[in-house]
Structure 1
Amino acid sequence: MSEILVTGGTGALGRHIVDRLREQGHKVRVLSRRAGAGTHTGDLSTGAGVAEAVAGVDAVVHAASDFRKFGGPDLTQTEQLLRASGGVAHLLYVSIVGIEKFPFRYYRNKLACERMVVNSGVPHTILRATQFHELIASALRSVERLPVAPLPTDFRFQPVATPDVARRIAELVASEPLGRASDFGGPEVLTLAELAQTWRAARQRPRRVVRIPLPGRIARAYRAGENTCPDHTDGVLTWAEYVASNPANAYTITGTPPPP
């Protein structure tokens, strides 16, 4: 089995990646800025400790991303990791479906990181996934106590479970580099109205949802489902199953998330 380094290994997705890799018998290193949080202490922003964490590994999964700063630090962090990863056989970068269609700063930075990986010369796989269940839950939680929740109910999403994505990542990183892997989506494409209806049925809030019509390129892209991949309904856990399994305290991502 391989020795694999995971960045972002203590996050919502990363902890599942670490678990799946260990279940498969791999030796896993976890890079964290906080001493004791992972197996190796290092800072991707400065490069401190990164070379030591990478030394001797067979592969790297780069799942670290700072959405609270709209991915601004991601560029430097990815550059530092790639600089230290010249000798690895496989680097897997986790990205997002449809990012070239949305002019968000976070998405632009993710796209720039993808290009950096492609141009690095490091054997790699880029896996794009659709929106995590946790992100949709965080957005709905933020409006559920309002008397009336104004939502763009015609926006389309394809929420996916982080354990499902982690299983795919574990499969890919243990195989040969693909360059760009097939997109990975949840089991169903749903409108925000349908997502909110399921949420309300489990939590009895928000009490009322009102559609807000949003103009512009971004809104058109969401209505068209440019952030989805209906030909790749690979995930297993549905949105309804996710909400039903944890209706009282569905995981909330800390900080202020970017648009999903």
Structure 2
Amino acid sequence: MTTILVTGGTGTLGRLVTERLRADGHEVRVLSRHAQPYAVDLIEGGSGLDAAVTGVDTIVHCATSPRGGADEKAAAHLIEAARRAGVGHLVYISIVGVDRVPFPYYRTKLAVERLVEQSGLGWTIVRATQFHDLLVQLFEALAKSPVMPLPAGISDQPIEVAEVADRLAELAAGAPAGRVEDMGGPEVRSFESLTRSYLAARGRRRAPLNVPLWGAAYRAFRAGGHLTPEHAVGKGTFEQYLERRFGGRRA
């Protein structure tokens, strides 16, 4: 079996990728800012990064940051260290629509894709739609008000994070494959429909309010640039996720 480094290995996705790879018998190193013995801030780089990648066959790059430009800096440092160490395969998780939706975070993810492609390393990139839990985080914040403002005319195609983790583990165990097929959730749903499912699961009474927005990014979201209905490979539905997470709990 191979030695695999998972960046962001304590996060929502990276933790599951780590579990899958270890269950398959791989030696896995977890890199994050606070995970010993490979506690490294990728944005800053440094000698600890070289130690983390030395002797590694494959890197699965799950670490990400909402800070502007941070992901590009982190990826550049990781790629430089991987080159020095002779890493043979870099797997990167991106987002469906980064080349179609001019949203700042998406632009950053697309820039990282370009860095990976031009790295000189063997590489694999897979794009996925949004995870179920990200929607719940959004709805939890919006539900603090009696009225939940929603971006009018936008749909989503949420996917189960465990399914994406399984795919990443599979890709990490294989040879570099370039850009592979996107991963989308099983259903394209309106934001209002997803919101009502969330409210029912939480036992909350809120009034969804569709609010028209503006700008190029909003137009691209309305046009479905972040969706991939032709690659609806996910199995777990949003309702199944809600039942598993909240069960009989009501708030």
TM-score surpassing 0.5?
yes
Task: Give the alignment's TM-score, normalised by structure 1.
Answer: 0.90
Note if contact 1:100-1:108 (Cα within 8 Å) is conserved in structure 2.
yes
Structure 1 residue ranges (4+ consecutive) displaced by more than 3 angstroms after TM superposition: none
* Structure 1 residue matching 2:42: 3-state secondary structure: coil
Where does 1:75-224 land on structure 2 (aligned, <5 Å)?
Answer: 75-86=72-83, 87-224=86-223
Measure the CA separation in 1 of the matches of 2:126 and 2:41: 24
Q: Please say if residues 145 and 205 of structure 1, whose CA atoms lie closer than 8 Å, have aligned partners that are also in contact.
A: no
Q: Pick closer, same or farther for the CA change 1:249–1:215 going to 2, 3 Å.
A: farther
Is 2:21 the counterpart of 1:24? no
Kept in 2: contact 1:133–1:239 (CA 8 A): yes
Structure 1 stretches lacking a partner, 5+ long: 251-260
Deviation of 1:129 after TM superposition, in Å, equals: 0.7
Matched, 1:74 2:71: yes
Relative to structure 1, the CA distance from residue 30 to residue 145 in structure 2 (aligned partners, 3 Å threshold; closer, same or farther) is same
Which SS does the other structure have where 1:60 is aligned?
strand
Query: Which deviations, in whole Å up to 9, do the C-alpha atoms of 1:220-248 show, x marking residues without a partner?
Result: 22222210111111222110101111127
1:79-138 per-position Cα deviation (integer Å, ceiling 9, x unaligned): 111011121111001111001222222111111111011111110001111001111111
1:11 corresponds to: 11
Partner of 2:230: 231
Distance 1:206 1:127, change over 3 A: farther
Q: Distance in 2 between matches of 1:143 and 1:46?
A: 34
SS at match of 2:18: helix
The one-letter code of the counterpart of 1:150 is P
Q: 2:168 & 2:111 partners in 1: Cα distance?
A: 21
Q: Which moved more, 1:55-64 or 1:229-238?
A: 229-238
Which one-letter code corresponds to 1:26 in the other structure?
A: H
Q: How large is the Cα RMSD of the aligned pairs?
A: 1.7
2:38 matched residue in structure 1? 40
Structure that is richer in helix per residue? 2
| Aligned counterpart, 1:253 | none
SS of the equivalent of 1:142 reads: helix
Q: For the structure 1 residues 57 and 13, does the alpha-carbon distance in structure 2 shift closer, same or farther, using more than 3 Å as the test?
A: same
| C-alpha contact 1:156 1:224 (8 A) present in aligned 2 | no
TM-aligned CA deviation for residue 186 of structure 1: 1.1
Q: Distance in 2 between matches of 1:196 and 1:153?
A: 12
Contact 2:53 2:82 in 1 (8 A): yes
Cα displacement (A) at 1:32? 2.0
**Aligned equivalents of 1:192, 1:206: Cα separation in 2:** 17
Q: Secondary structure at the match of 2:6?
A: strand
Residues 5, 31 of structure 1: 8 Å contact kept: yes
Cα distance in 2 between the residues matched to 1:206 and 1:89: 53
CA distance in 1, matches of 2:206, 2:151: 16
CA contact (8 A) 1:10 1:38 kept: no
How many residues are paired up? Answer: 246
Contact 1:29 1:38 in 2 (8 A): no
Unaligned 5+ segments in structure 2 are none
Higher mean displacement: 23-32 or 207-216: 207-216
TM-score under structure 2 length normalisation: 0.93
Task: Read off the aligned partner of 1:46 and give its amino acid letter.
Answer: E
CA distance in 1, matches of 2:155, 2:179: 24
Equivalent positions of 1:39-58 (< 5 A) are: 39-48=37-46, 49-58=48-57
Tell me if structure 1 keeps the 8 A contact 2:98–2:110. Answer: yes
